Chains A and B, each alone.
Chain A
């Protein structure tokens, strides 16, 4: 069964600093991997996804993530944090057999002016 581990329930960065949110997965087959963002009192918005094409995936709002099979990781990065990036970020995994998405516990990102 798939599972996702997000290291750090809360990450705080200064405005303009690098954002790094960590995600490690466990899957018996090459997975599909996703990052979702949840702004306060809103639903889940897809940021980016990995589906076995390019290992470096670019998403919306300047975010990107790199699939590293050897490390079973799919960390989310952004070179320069903006105040509007403050939100909850969820990593999710699914196998290509159409099993439901399994989410990590989420990481709350705070951006300090």
Chain B
């Protein structure tokens, strides 16, 4: 069964450093998403991406965040200057054009900011 692949599985970074989280969505999916889950809390929407541009973003997705699809397969989330409160599990997801098929999530990247 097709999978969404995320790397790395765990990243530790110092406060103020830039991090890039990587995702390889399912090849025939057209919509891509980033969600995050702070430990013990709900899964929160960050951003959706379609046709090489952001289609929707939440209040969490401020100027410190950016997304990119640098080639035909990768989808990245960059945090420009990490803060302690950015520590969370970050999930990438992809979906077919219609949301009724649901999203396929990756296994997540646990980001720890120290």
Known: A34-B102, A90-B43, A98-B98. A43 touches B56 (CB 8 A): no
Q: Of B11-19, B66-74, B76-84, B103-111, which binds chain A?
A: B103-111
B99-A104 in contact (CB<8A): no
B106-A43 in contact (CB<8A): yes
Kindly list chain A residues whose C-beta atoms are within 8 Å of the C-beta of B100: 32, 49, 51, 96
Highest count of chain B CB atoms <10 Å: which of A44, A49, A104: A44
Which residues from 10 to 54 on chain B have a C-beta closer than 8 Å to any C-beta of chain A? 31, 33, 35, 41-45, 48
B99-A44 in contact (CB<8A): no
A100-B102 in contact (CB<8A): no
B104-A100 in contact (CB<8A): no
Q: How many residues of B contact A (CB 8 A)?
A: 25
Known: A44-B91, A49-B100, A96-B100. A104 touches B106 (CB 8 A): no
Nearest to B50 among chain A residues (CB) is A98
A103-B48 in contact (CB<8A): no
Kindly list chain B residues whose C-beta atoms are within 8 Å of the C-beta of A32: 99-100
Known: A43-B91, A43-B106, A100-B48. A105 touches B99 (CB 8 A): no
Contact of A100 among B6, B56, B97, B105 (CB under 8 A): B56
Known: A32-B100, A43-B91. A101 touches B108 (CB 8 A): no
User: Taking beta carbons and an 8 Å cutoff, which residues of B are in contact with A?
Assistant: 4, 6, 31, 33, 35, 41-45, 48, 56, 91, 93, 97-100, 102-108
User: Taking beta carbons and an 8 Å cutoff, which residues of A are in contact with B?
Assistant: 32, 34, 36, 42-46, 49, 51, 90, 94, 96, 98-106
